[in-house]
Amino acid sequence: MKEDFEEITMYKCRYCEKVFYTNKRHKCKFNPLNKTCFSCTFCKGVTEEGVIECDQGNEISLEELSRQYHWKLDCHKWECMNGYIGKDSYIKRIYDNWRMEKIVEEENESDFFE
Alpha-carbon distance 76 to 80, whole Å?
12
114 in any annotated domain: no
The percentage of residues in the chain with a pLDDT greater than 70, rounded to a whole number, is 93
Instruction: Dump pLDDT digits (tens) for 9-48.
Output: 899 998 888 999 888 888 888 888 888 888 888 888 888 8
91 in any annotated domain: yes
Mean pLDDT, the chain, rounded, equals 82
Q: What's the average model confidence in pLDDT over 68-96?
A: 82
Q: DSSP secondary-structure letter at 84?
A: -
78 in any annotated domain: yes
Coil, strand, or helix at residue 106? helix
- Global pTM reads 0.67
Q: How many distinct structural domains can be found in the chain?
A: 1
Alpha-carbon distance 114 to 112, whole Å?
6
